[in-house]
């Protein structure tokens, strides 16, 4: 199995996804070991002094004014984990929790948190054993980071609460640790706080959304090209010269993808009853502009994620000069903003896809296709209600596009009086990504059926490859009405699993 080696200078999106989704093992480098040891020496020296140091010998948040004596410090660190593990609601997905744990471990290894090396090793051991703490949907305000979700992870580390084993069974954490030859950690000065204070959950969900949206934006270019072809539209609007005079890179990439899929089509440029069409509708003609704007938003979000991956987010932090300094780097605004930006882009991409689908089904706008793509209209309803489902998904996506990061609610007796809500932005983006996949699946389903109904005209080679692959995956073609939900589920899976992109690329070569 692949092993990810953590150093002291951050990690990569590829490594996060390998650990979160593929179960890669984790190992600490010698550099990380040295950084952990050096920082811990500083914390222990400060702990021995009579002067109070925040997080080392004081309470936390609004309780930071109380000096904590040496005999109570282990209890303090244990208590902060117990009290902050206050999440409620449905369980968060396993991949999210693994990303959360790995990204916290990344920060521990930076040498800026002051935990002992054995704490970092214990967290790595949990990941390598496939033990996943039970983390709940609600409890994070995104400041100070994802406190409640990270606390539930730390609770497993100290042998308390519940966790899921590698077999998927939820058991008491103490039992799982014992079954894997692991031991609960006895936390010391600074360590409980260091395990809780970070943007790791929202960052992990951002990285997974970026990976999924890379595939979905390419998928959207393919479904848009199929719809353009099914509507006998013009591919002249995709010419590189037209996109060069408005030099947004995402727009050029989307247009190039569509043009590659349509190469050699016998449908583009044909017109019903030989009536020339001066221009196609906006949902067809402006597909590259809308998808391109979303692609450029992805690029900005990726830049923010890369910076956050290189960061060490904790409070207080251990600095190279030996200071332990309070700071505000745990605030989730940078990540929360781009999570919300992406939700807006996702909603708009789904919206334009739904408008194209509706055009395919409307006999007054589909340029010769049967109404609702039905076989025997009146007896058959065709894809009428498939578009209803798509419209319902798009309407919910518009609600999910309302930004979470403009909200704030004071907490901790007004000490934490402005919060990012970045965790909430991440949670709704995960739902939005799933909905976009379904919307594109329905457009794919309608467009492939419409192309097959254009008797006597030859689709592009890439279109034929997509149709053949889709039919082989259970996405059935034209015919009388049948139980539609399984077909739509198959189309959703065809898009989600990347088969749509791979089918098109089998002809076009790599798409952007």
Residues annotated as part of the active site? 54
Taking Cα atoms as reference points, which of 467, 436, 510, 498 lies closest to residue 226?
467
How far is it, in rounded angstroms, from Cα 268 to Cα 270?
A: 6
How far is it, in rounded angstroms, from Cα 260 to Cα 455?
A: 23
Sequence-ordered list of residues with C-beta below 8 angstroms from that of 320, at least 6 positions apart, any chain: none
Query: Tell me, what DSSP letter sits at residue 163?
Result: E
Q: Is the dihedral of CA 116, 120, 121, 123 positive or negative?
A: positive
Chain center to CA of 93 = 12
Query: Tell me, what DSSP letter sits at residue 67?
Result: B
How far is it, in rounded angstroms, from Cα 304 to Cα 325?
A: 24
Other Cβ atoms closer than 10 A to 118: 16
How far is it, in rounded angstroms, from Cα 410 to Cα 419?
A: 7
Tokens 């704490």 sit on residue: 119
Q: CB under 8 Å, gap of 24 or more: what pairs does 59-63 form?
A: 60/193, 61/144, 61/412, 61/413, 61/415, 61/416, 62/412, 62/413, 62/414, 62/415
Residue 58 backbone phi and psi in degrees, to 5: -135, 170
């Amino acid at each position: 199995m692949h092993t990810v080696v953590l150093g002291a200078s951050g990690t990569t999106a590829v490594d996060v996804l390998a650990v979160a989704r593929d179960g890669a093992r984790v190992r600490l480098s010698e550099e990380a070991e040295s950084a952990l040891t050096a920082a811990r020496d500083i914390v222990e020296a400060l702990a021995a002094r009579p002067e109070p140091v925040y997080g080392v010998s004081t309470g936390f948040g609004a309780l930071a004014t109380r000096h904590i004596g040496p005999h109570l410090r282990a209890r303090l660190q244990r208590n902060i984990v117990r009290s902050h593990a206050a999440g409620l609601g449905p369980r968060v997905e396993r991949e999210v929790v693994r990303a959360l744990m790995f990204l916290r471990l990344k920060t521990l290894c930076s040498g800026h948190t002051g935990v002992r090396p054995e704490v970092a090793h214990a967290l790595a051991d949990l990941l390598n054993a496939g033990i996943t703490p039970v983390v709940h949907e609600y409890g994070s305000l995104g400041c100070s980071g994802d406190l409640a979700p990270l606390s539930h992870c730390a609770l497993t580390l100290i042998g308390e609460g519940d966790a899921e084993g590698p077999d998927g069974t939820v058991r008491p954490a103490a039992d799982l640790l014992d079954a894997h030859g692991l031991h609960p950690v006895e936390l010391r000065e600074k360590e409980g706080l260091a395990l809780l204070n970070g943007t790791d959950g929202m960052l992990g969900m951002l990285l997974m959304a970026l990976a999924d949206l890379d595939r979905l934006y390419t998928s959207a270019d393919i479904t848009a090209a199929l719809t353009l072809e099914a509507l006998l539209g013009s591919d002249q609007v995709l010419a590189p010269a037209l996109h060069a005079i408005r030099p947004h890179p995402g727009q050029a990439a989307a247009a190039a993808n569509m043009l590659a899929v349509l190469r050699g089509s016998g449908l583009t440029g044909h017109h019903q009853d030989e009536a020339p069409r001066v221009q196609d509708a906006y949902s067809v003609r402006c597909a590259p502009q809308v998808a391109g704007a979303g692609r450029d938003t992805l690029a900005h979000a990726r830049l923010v994620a890369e910076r956050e991956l290189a960061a060490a987010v904790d409070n207080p932090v251990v600095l190279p000069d030996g200071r332990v300094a309070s700071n505000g780097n745990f605030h989730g605004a940078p990540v929360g903003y781009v999570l919300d930006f992406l939700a807006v882009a996702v909603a708009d991409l789904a919206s334009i896809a739904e408008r194209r689908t509706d055009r395919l089904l409307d006999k007054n706008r589909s340029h010769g296709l049967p109404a609702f793509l039905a076989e025997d209209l009146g007896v058959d309803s065709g894809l009428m209600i498939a578009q209803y489902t798509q419209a319902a998904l798009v309407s919910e996506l518009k609600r999910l596009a309302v930004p979470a990061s403009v909200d704030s609610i004071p907490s901790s007796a007004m000490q934490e009086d402005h919060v990012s809500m970045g965790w909430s932005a991440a949670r709704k983006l995960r739902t939005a990504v799933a909905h976009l996949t379904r919307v594109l699946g329905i457009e794919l389903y309608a467009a492939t059926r419409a192309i097959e109904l254009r008797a006597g005209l030859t689709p592009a080679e890439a279109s034929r490859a997509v149709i053949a692959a889709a039919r082989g995956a259970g996405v059935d073609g034209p015919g009388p009405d049948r139980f539609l939900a399984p077909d739509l589920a198959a189309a959703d899976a065809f898009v989600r699993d990347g088969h749509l992109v791979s089918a098109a690329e089998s002809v076009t070569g790599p798409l952007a």
